[in-house]
Structure 1
Amino acid sequence: MVQKESHDHVNDTDLDNVEVISIKDQVISQAVQRPPAKSLLQTFSTTSKETLFPDDPFRHFRNKPSHRQAIMLMQYFFPILDWLPKYKLGFLKNDFIAGITTASLSIPQGIAYAKLANLPPVVGLYSCFLPPMVYAIFGSSRDLAVGPAAVISIVLGTLIREDLGPEVTDPRAHLSLAFTSTFFAGLFQFSLGFLRLGFVIDFLSHAATVGFVAGVAVAVCLQQMRGILGIQNFTKKSDVVSVLHSIFRDPAHWNWRTVVIGICFLTFLLGMRQISKRNKKLFWLSAIAPVTSVFLATVCVFATHANEHLSIVGQLRKGINPPSFKELHLTGPLVSKAMKNGVIVAIIGLMEAIAVGRTFASIKNYHIDGNKEMIAFGMVNMTGSCMSCYITTGAMSRTAVNNSAGCKTSLSCIFMALIVMVTLLALTPLFHYTPNVILSVIIFSALITLIDPVEAYHIWKVDKIDFLACLGAFLGVCFQSIQLGLLIAVAISIGKILLHVSRPHTATLGKIAGTSIYRSIEQYPKAVRIPGVLIVRIDASIYFSNSNYIRERLTRYIEEEQGRDKLPGESALKYLILDLTPVMSIDTSGIHAFVEIHRALKASDIQLVLANPGAEVIERLHRGGFVDILGQRWISLTVDDAVHYCSMQLPRDNNVDNHEDVSECDVIVQIIPKFGL
């Protein structure tokens, strides 16, 4: 039998009303359940699993025979063992054509991007041969074309030049530090993937990345004016002011021959790109335009003996990648700098590769594992550093060409690598007379597309703080250094996170007429306030970093509510309902803040009510003793239940819901279907 409770506003003879309130009390006390208790080991195990293995990558291994589990484990770490046995001969033509097309773009870009990193041009070709072969074994993307990329090339070259100083002219020292930085980049990438810490790269937001990449593109494009204008004495600094000063310091020293060649081939490359954009079937025009430019320029220089007036690539070493174990310096004064460089280029490379890979995976409706990609690129760069390769990633331009050419699997990367191998073994002498101005033009035409004012304007419209991160990164790179731009981007992105954590959003709620739904009054001005009841939603977990702010914000809400003009007959504020639906967690500081709020409200004759606390929240409120302080009956399953319960406690003439009388029988009718009574 249900026990009857007495209330101040209920007459002793009004037994029916007492019965209703008692039933409601019992329903409320049973509505929010405490989750089953877990041991410390179970809690730690669950938390670790959700943090490191949210996708549960080994879920398919369960309930399988041991030999099958061993095969699946090998396929997990070596994806080529999964797709190669299923390979269809019908895919061979597509992958071969895609490999040839991508190689025609990769060869000139590899030579040009090695120049960006201040490395011998042949190292760029080495980095287009071995890394794609390794990625085909460990990578999970079907479309990603692996090789050197413009942004990480210039970042690595700038970092190494600053580490060694402008007075160092020994190319072997620069090469050695590049290989060592690449090794540490691979080690860092592999560690992130193996430990499943891929969320680290998420601290660089999309907006910050847009600004950073645009800043690098502007700085590098201006630096390529050295090759296009044929300037001999050029600054070693990367900021825009220094570069512009070097360009316009003495226009009389510009080489008119390189200017003419540069303008002609830049017009050709940009024209082919526009044609390919307008007609998707002609994608190959943009793909072969760089190698066509290299061929035509080389033939012209050779036929006219213009090498006497132009800077040329010179002799390239024949043969595939020589070992570079001896070039790795894992001890000594430069190790710390190599590690620092490796971490920076590793993060930038992973961001580009995973973003590009996921973009094309979504187009073809398949999934790539971010952590497996990190392991793959870790293996690519660690292996490459030992075989004369510098840092590589998945570049957007080559991947787009690979996808447009109809690639079906990673076998297209292997075909591309084989064509580069043929080039290294037999065709490198043909690049001897290639003018450096062509390499500058190829770099310029590739990077100018990374400057995206439309995306920057879109960021400005959507989120002003995001635009601040974008602008800060852009200005930092352009006017100071690449490192400062990256630091500003990360700092503003983390600052935005801290701002949201320390100043979470809150909202006062009202009832949508004719429903049991409660929404923000600011968003829905027609939502009805409940007389005598203030409903506040907290839109974040409650931690030490924001508990004081939440307490102060609730105090202001109460003061504003008490100072609001009341309707005739409307009672004073008696209840504060906190909607905890968005609150996923609470710590001891948050519980202490709740205790202080409850104490202050009691002194003002206002009752605190909690609505829909989650499993972790209610568990910690129990352990912290706050449930005993507040009382179980003041914790409700939904906001609507809490409002009904509070309305029944108010005096009869103020028992209002949506400005209409709500009788106890109406409450019973609404309670019974919800709780099965």
Structure 2
Amino acid sequence: MEAKNEKSLRESYECLYGLRFPNSKVFDATDSGSGAFNGSSSNSSKNGALDLSVLIEQDEPTVAECCAWTRARFFTKRKFRRLLPPLKWLPNYSFNDAKGDIISGISVAFTIVPQGLALASLAGLPPQYGLYTSFMGCFVYSLLGSCKDMAVGPTSILAMIVLPYVMVGGAQYAILLAFFGGCLQLLAGILNLGFVVDFISFPVISSFSLAAAITIASSQLKGFFGLHYSASRVLEIYINFFSTIGSINLWDVGLGCFCLLFLVPLQIFKEAEIMPHWSKCKPRSYRLVNFIYSLIVIGRNALAVLIGSLIAIYYGQRNNDENLFTLTRKITPGLPSFDVPQFSVLSVNGTVTKPFGEVYDDISTGIFAVALLGLTESVAVANAFKSPSSGKLDASQEMIALGVSNLLGSFVGAFPATASFSRSAVNHNSGVRTPLGGIITGGLVLTALSTFSTYFEYIPETALATIIITSVMFMANPTDILIIWRTNRIDLIPYLITFITSIGIGLEVGILIGIGVSIMILLYHMARPHIYSVIKETPSGHSFLYVKPDRSIFFSSIEYMKIKIGKNLKTLEQINMNSGGRETNCLVVVDGEHMFRTDSTFALGMKNMVNDLKSRNVSVIFYRLRRIVFRVIVGVSMHPTLFHNCRTEEEVYRLIRTLNETTIKHSSSMCVGTLKRSHSHTSTYRDELGTRHLWMTQSTSD
């Protein structure tokens, strides 16, 4: 009999865990008082029961096996092709590819140079820092990036997030934000955490974009009107603006209005077709006119800076007044040096040196905001311009490329960078063929730094302000709130919270709070699944409580499920009391059809609930429970158990009839009984329900 039980037990666990137990490898993992089978009947307990808590002893791997596994896992051709995307497209690079990359690289350079100057001003930095940020991202992404259209460099949102930290610690704080933000992005990419950006919901992104557009445009009022004050929050900006409104420079306002009248129509009609009626009668003239117009549209920001600078120089010399317009500050000409960032920073007033601990406390919030927003923008741009033939976007590789760009950029004095929608659109429309176009752009930026940097000080601030204002005018879509109102009004909560905190506290805090609120709402819905609970009857007239969750149940839902079961259980007990004096057991049937995964906390909670119901003479039957869920639930039991899990409805009805007709006083709700039960009782139970049904594993569905 012991040999038969041992064989049956072995078969059950082999089916349950998908493992095979060699006789020499199974050993006892329980207390000394209990036995485990190992091919010998001497390890059985005195009463013949067998311990189900067994472990499998595995041979420890050798160094050679570890090296072979590491080589096969990390050092394959596929891994190298993923880490270095040029290995995919460079062998087939053609002359036509080079022509498209050169044209697009030049086009993006005409856009990124004036934008870099303007965004450095937005971040509170000298103009050359915008170009430092521009060229390194172009070079690195060409080697590590997977999206040919993406143009990495400074953006208005990241520049606005950097501004309050620059006001505290100067340019060094901006450089450290790029360094630590890049480290965080690189780590996320190495750990394959590309899915993290999926937790940023549409209401949070939409609300943050609207708040960022308002904040950025408000911050440029100072440069547009020629005022002088320091502020980074919207409320502070308008307080300072109205307090200094009497000092408006009308020359700056006039030049700013001229730049707006030049830039806004080109921004609105950037895809317009000039002289369409010439396309048939004068095709050459038609192509020439539209080509010139496309060049003007692409280089509109550079033209605005050039025209504004010429106007400022002309009227300044004519009136013999160099301060007629508010010009950018003097800058450091030439190329930057390649140095490790300084982690102890001299304060803005130049009197106190802050140690690294204080510096990190100052910028810690900004590090996470910069890393998260950079990843979000980068993945969003890559998805927007991804071609159908390129396959699924590798978000983790994009994280690696962006992280290395920021990390190396900090060595040349760059502030945080990410992908830009506007420049990526220019890149795409210019016919870029491969990421190699970024090297052309980076080379032209370096040329501008080494050749024209001495002339940057003649650029009017109002011209840079208008470039930023026009770039953010179309960044946000306020009508998104109507979509949210019509679809799911619960999403208004993260939308409004993100907007209010971003405007009132700051963009870097607002986005983090918005993401937190959005995740809390997501977790709330996960913790409150729909649980169908109703009292049913078998064909033989036995009542039972039928419970069916509509999804997988995890630790956050166990208490909620207990409450739902407890409410209807009282009704079931009342029905059994009124059953005409017939003694019946209260039964709960849990349908696991939609339970694909679970966790140990849920299993422990179910065990406690079943034990609690056992004390009330209530039995629990699981129906259509999957093997992976069954493993978790059985794994919490430290003593041998037999588990009710039926595969078909007929098996459920038979088991309910048996439990109501058979007196089982000491059976667990989760368990029919233990292996310590007498063999005669076990045999009777098998005769009535079937052997494989008793051992559970044979009726578990996948």
Q: What is the Cα deviation at residue 96 of structure 1?
A: 1.6
Matched residue SS, 1:143:
coil
Q: What is the Cα deviation at residue 175 of structure 1?
A: 1.8
1:76 matched to 2:82: yes
| CA 1:399–1:532: 2 relative to 1, 3 Å | farther
Bigger shift: residues 452-461 or 287-296 = 452-461
Matched residue SS, 2:92:
coil
Q: 1:437, 1:93 → 2: CA distance?
A: 36
Bigger shift: residues 300-309 or 378-387 = 300-309
Q: What is the Cα deviation at residue 574 of structure 1?
A: 6.9
Choose the corresponding residue for 1:290, options 285, 293, 301: 301
Corresponding position of 1:36: 18
Deviations 1:581-635 (A, max 9, x none): 3334444543344345546666777653323323331012223349976x54x42
Q: What is the Cα deviation at residue 339 of structure 1?
A: 5.1
| CA 1:36–1:415: 2 relative to 1, 3 Å | same
Q: What is the Cα deviation at residue 101 of structure 1?
A: 1.5
Q: 2:602, 2:298 → 1: CA distance?
A: 58
| CA 1:609–1:254: 2 relative to 1, 3 Å | same
Corresponding position of 2:487: 462
Corresponding position of 1:441: 466
Corresponding position of 2:235: 241
Matched residue SS, 2:590:
strand
Letter in 1 for 2:213: A
Q: 2:645, 2:234 → 1: CA distance?
A: 61
1:223 matched to 2:229: no
Which residues in structure 2 correspond to 1:538-617 (within 5 Å)?
A: 538-558=549-569, 576-595=588-607, 597-598=609-610, 608-617=620-629
Corresponding position of 2:262: 268
Q: What is the Cα deviation at residue 40 of structure 1?
A: 8.4
Which residues in structure 2 correspond to 1:242-641 (within 5 Å)?
A: 242-276=236-270, 286-305=297-316, 307-325=322-340, 327=342, 329=344, 332-336=356-360, 337-338=362-363, 340-362=365-387, 365-501=390-526, 503-508=527-532, 532=543, 534-558=545-569, 576-595=588-607, 597-598=609-610, 608-625=620-637, 632=643, 634-637=644-647
Aligned partners of 1:591 and 1:626 also within 8 Å: no
| CA 1:297–1:129: 2 relative to 1, 3 Å | same
Choose the corresponding residue for 2:186, options 175, 185, 190: 190
Q: What is the Cα deviation at residue 533 of structure 1?
A: 5.7
Q: 1:347, 1:283 → 2: CA distance?
A: 34
Deviations 1:372-420 (A, max 9, x none): 2222222211211111222111111111221122211101111111221
Aligned partners of 2:573 and 2:586 also within 8 Å: no
Matched residue SS, 2:562:
helix
Please, what is the CA RMSD of the aligned residues? 4.2
Q: What is the Cα deviation at residue 142 of structure 1?
A: 1.4
Which residues in structure 2 correspond to 1:12-27 (within 5 Å)?
A: none
Matched residue SS, 1:450:
coil
| CA 1:484–1:342: 2 relative to 1, 3 Å | closer
Structure 2: gaps spanning 5 or more residues: 1-10, 21-54, 62-68, 275-289, 346-354, 535-540, 576-581, 661-698
Aligned partners of 1:609 and 1:636 also within 8 Å: yes
Corresponding position of 2:139: 133
Q: 2:639, 2:630 → 1: CA distance?
A: 8
Matched residue SS, 2:412:
coil
Q: 2:77, 2:17 → 1: CA distance?
A: 39
Which residues in structure 2 correspond to 1:97-136 (within 5 Å)?
A: 97-136=103-142
Letter in 1 for 2:106: I
Letter in 1 for 2:82: Y
Q: How many residues align?
A: 575
Choose the corresponding residue for 1:205, options 178, 201, 205: 201
Letter in 1 for 2:16: R
| CA 1:605–1:180: 2 relative to 1, 3 Å | closer
Letter in 1 for 2:171: L
Matched residue SS, 2:216:
helix
Letter in 2 for 1:287: I
Corresponding position of 1:6: none
Q: What is the Cα deviation at residue 292 of structure 1?
A: 1.8
Q: 1:628, 1:76 → 2: CA distance?
A: 48
| CA 1:102–1:322: 2 relative to 1, 3 Å | same
Letter in 1 for 2:315: T
| CA 1:255–1:335: 2 relative to 1, 3 Å | closer
Q: 1:412, 1:441 → 2: CA distance?
A: 28
Q: 2:394, 2:524 → 1: CA distance?
A: 30
| CA 1:33–1:608: 2 relative to 1, 3 Å | farther
Deviations 1:413-447 (A, max 9, x none): 11111221222232334434221101111111112
Aligned partners of 2:381 and 2:421 also within 8 Å: yes
| CA 1:509–1:269: 2 relative to 1, 3 Å | farther
Matched residue SS, 1:444:
helix
Aligned partners of 2:494 and 2:514 also within 8 Å: yes
| CA 1:383–1:251: 2 relative to 1, 3 Å | closer
Aligned partners of 2:113 and 2:302 also within 8 Å: yes
Q: 1:262, 1:203 → 2: CA distance?
A: 40
| CA 1:33–1:185: 2 relative to 1, 3 Å | same
Q: 1:250, 1:130 → 2: CA distance?
A: 39
Aligned partners of 2:542 and 2:657 also within 8 Å: no
Aligned partners of 2:122 and 2:220 also within 8 Å: no
Q: 2:57, 2:145 → 1: CA distance?
A: 35
Matched residue SS, 1:127:
helix
TM-score, normalised to structure 2, is 0.71
Deviations 1:462-501 (A, max 9, x none): 3334321121111111122234313421331332244234
| CA 1:319–1:62: 2 relative to 1, 3 Å | same
Q: 1:249, 1:621 → 2: CA distance?
A: 68
Q: 2:273, 2:620 → 1: CA distance?
A: 65
